[in-house]
Amino acid sequence: MSKIIDGLYYSESHEYVKVDGEFGYIGITDYAQHELGNVVYVDMPEVDDEVAAGEEFGAVESVKAASDLLSPVSGTVVEVNEALEDEPGLINKDAFENWIIKVELSDKSELDGLMDAAAYKAMIGE
């Protein structure tokens, strides 16, 4: 059974957003990392890049598959998780602790279109 955390926002493409003030930490869910298997590479944008809700901002590659990352929200990248450059498998250890990018949210109303923990749990059938 996948770990799902209350208080986060979830997208249908299995990304999450943890909101902290004007910032959002975006990563992939525990369910997604289980489906992918051992993560071997994370392709991330650059700091100051713009991301748009529903659009690709990078990719996660595992020994089984590659999966595009779709941003659940729009904003400006203010930080990337550099630890993942050397150790992408951190996502497998704890997908929620090891976010991929931190963005300054440009439109917090976009969060209203995302799922809460209960809705995400129902979507993945757990």
In a domain, 124, yes or no: no
Q: How far apart are CA 73 and CA 17, in angstroms?
A: 8
Number of separate domains in the chain:
1
Model pTM?
0.97
In a domain, 119, yes or no: no
13-53 per-position pLDDT tens digit:
999 999 999 999 999 999 999 999 999 999 999 999 999 99
Q: Which domain holds residue 59?
A: 9-107
DSSP-derived pairing of the beta strands 39-43 and 101-105: unpaired
CATH of the domain at 23: 2.40.50.100
